[in-house]
Structure 1
Amino acid sequence: MSISTMSCFSFSILLVITSQALLFIPLAYSNIIGHSTLTCRSYCGNLTIDYPFAIQSGCGHPGFRDLLFCINDILMFHITSGSYRVLDIDYAYQSLTLHDPHMSNCDTIVLGGRGNGFVVEPWRAPYLNPVADNVFMLIECSPESPLFEGFPGKHLPCGNVSGMGCEEYYECPAWEIIGPNRVGPVYGSGPPECCSVSFEAMEDVNLTKLGCQGYSSAYSLAPLRVSGPDGWSYGIRVKYSVQGNEAFCKACEATGGSCGFDTDGNSDLCMCGRWNSTTNCDSVHSASNRIRWTLMDALAGYLICLIIWRNLLRLQ
């Protein structure tokens, strides 16, 4: 190999090494932030898992981390008060429908204080709360319950919520065995067997703290109104809201990425398959294109160097 060829070859090798270094940068960055070759799972059984929710670490919105778990294709929702099965996620209305296996309904009264109720961690409170028309009907609560403080003569928080309450709930077949103590809104003889409250009135529904043996929960799908408790929708309807940079997530998804966050610093990340980006997947593609052009430039530089050198030799 001539000196000229060696020089051109050395020059091209230098360009290749530089381009390979550029190639290493996004790969190293991906490994540092801990999401190399990560794709967020988008389903569990027949339920779609979409932003802000996720069932993998680093996916979704940080306010909903460690909230959903997929167990044998069953989606479970876990908070301080316990675990619930997710029956539905309505992304259009930003709500979840939850089922507690120890919750009473129109056919069965479950006692023994085994129900979860609903208590959310304080830091999650801005993100999750039962909807305003979700009624909690607390069953067989102790006379010493905080519900009845100031009793007798006090107007208790028990009341009707969106056309649903204990007076209607007493009509269910399940109450035929218990035989409810039906009393008015001001109690002089003793607490009622059932006290219906909204979540806003209680801030949390903790059966142990409230001294209750059981509970039921129902919600209304306005503007639909049903005539009796046998037609109510039983379960816990939870409203969720996203606190954060929604524009970032929309830009990420628009370029084919999955919204996530850095598990160490909770900063927003756009997961683009092999790489992560702090903006969107187009920025990753642009970097890849620049790397490919650098390799092509190295080859072109080698050929141009040879052509120039040979032309100089002919002039001598």
Structure 2
Amino acid sequence: MSTCSSMQNSGSFSLDRASPFTLTGANIFVLLGCSTTSPVFDPSEDLCDTGSGTRVCSGLYSCKGITGIGLPQNAPTSTCCVYDSLMGVGSGYSLDLPKLQCSSYTSIYEFGDEGDPMKWKFGISLQYNDSYYTPACKDCETSGGLCGFAGLDGSFSCICRDGVNATTNCFGHAYTWSGAWEPKIQTKTIIGGSGHYHMVTAPFL
């Protein structure tokens, strides 16, 4: 995924609706290096945010990394499209860059200092959907663990604070804990150029 410091032509992205994840409302998606004939600029589609999106585009196009997708720094923002939802762009949650005639995309889930794109947080923010939050997950969280996945088959795993991945809960692993601990989950998602995603979930103490 492109960031202010490093941009490159990227592949398409998709998130199957059957997956245990869904997109959060924090994501702002930006299509970069789009052809002026791209369907995202079709007035009848009205996908691009030309209000606040203009500031996002001008911020990204001011980055030195923009040359990585073949555009000069401070290129005209008319080749940039900003929107806050993948709904309507394709089936499910997806970006088909060849179809949209864009060379790259990025997603911003937190702006921080809105005027400085070097301080923006790039990535796609995901959350577990309701179908994932099973009794096993509730039992895991009750024991102080974090719900996650492990192994090549992506089977359920209860991630304990001592680093053990249990199949059910973290009872029996509490001997390494001290004091009261209430897990708060931060999930960061790294999207590769191939569109594959890897979840990194960690507790805040």
TM-score, normalization: structure 1? 0.36
| 1:107 maps to 2:5 | yes
Which AA in structure 1 matches 2:110? S
SS of 1:168 mapped into structure 2: helix
2:62 to 151, 168, 171: 171
Contact kept? 2:22, 2:128, Cα under 8 Å: yes
Residues 209, 246 of structure 1: alpha-carbon distance in 2 compared, 3 angstrom cutoff: same
Gaps of 5+ in 2: 149-155, 159-166, 172-205
Q: Which has the larger radius of gyration?
A: 1
Q: What is the 5 A alignment of 1:286-305?
A: none
Which AA in structure 2 matches 1:218? I
Contact kept? 2:29, 2:105, Cα under 8 Å: yes
1:217 to 107, 115, 128: 107
Cα deviation for residue 131 of structure 1 reads: 2.4
Contact kept? 2:110, 2:122, Cα under 8 Å: no
| 1:120 maps to 2:18 | no
| 1:250 maps to 2:138 | yes
Partner Cα distance (1:245, 1:130) in 2: 16
Contact kept? 2:53, 2:82, Cα under 8 Å: no
Partner Cα distance (2:11, 2:62) in 1: 24
**Equivalent in the alignment of 1:237:** 125
Cα deviation for residue 229 of structure 1 reads: 0.7
Cα deviation for residue 252 of structure 1 reads: 6.8
Which AA in structure 2 matches 1:168? G
SS of 2:33 mapped into structure 1: strand
Q: What is the 5 A alignment of 1:1-316?
A: 103-111=1-9, 115-124=10-19, 127-150=20-43, 156-159=47-50, 165-175=56-66, 178-179=72-73, 180-182=75-77, 192-201=78-87, 202=89, 203-220=93-110, 224-243=112-131, 246-251=134-139
Cα deviation for residue 171 of structure 1 reads: 2.3
Which AA in structure 2 matches 1:174? G
Partner Cα distance (1:164, 1:241) in 2: 32
Which AA in structure 1 matches 2:105? Y
Partner Cα distance (2:103, 2:142) in 1: 49
Cα deviation for residue 161 of structure 1 reads: 6.6
Residues 238, 150 of structure 1: alpha-carbon distance in 2 compared, 3 angstrom cutoff: same
**Equivalent in the alignment of 1:44:** none
CA-based RMSD of the aligned residues comes to 4.0
Residues 162, 215 of structure 1: alpha-carbon distance in 2 compared, 3 angstrom cutoff: closer
Partner Cα distance (1:132, 1:163) in 2: 20
Cα deviation for residue 236 of structure 1 reads: 2.0
SS of 2:59 mapped into structure 1: helix
Residues 147, 178 of structure 1: alpha-carbon distance in 2 compared, 3 angstrom cutoff: same
Aligned residues: 145
Partner Cα distance (2:115, 2:29) in 1: 18
Partner Cα distance (1:239, 1:164) in 2: 27
Of the structure 1 ranges 193-202 and 173-182, higher mean CA displacement relative to structure 2 is found in 173-182
Cα deviation for residue 119 of structure 1 reads: 0.8
Contact kept? 1:162, 1:220, Cα under 8 Å: no
Percent identity among equivalent residues? 26
Contact kept? 1:135, 1:164, Cα under 8 Å: no
Q: Higher strand proportion, which one?
A: 2
Contact kept? 2:29, 2:107, Cα under 8 Å: yes
Partner Cα distance (1:252, 1:109) in 2: 39
Partner Cα distance (1:164, 1:117) in 2: 24
Partner Cα distance (1:244, 1:215) in 2: 28
**Equivalent in the alignment of 1:68:** none
Which AA in structure 2 matches 1:130? L
Residues 244, 235 of structure 1: alpha-carbon distance in 2 compared, 3 angstrom cutoff: closer
SS of 1:213 mapped into structure 2: strand
Cα deviation for residue 239 of structure 1 reads: 2.4
Cα deviation, 1:278-311, whole Å, max 9, x if unaligned, reads: xxx9xxxxxxxxxxxxxxxxxxxxxxxxxxxxxx
TM-score, normalization: structure 2? 0.52
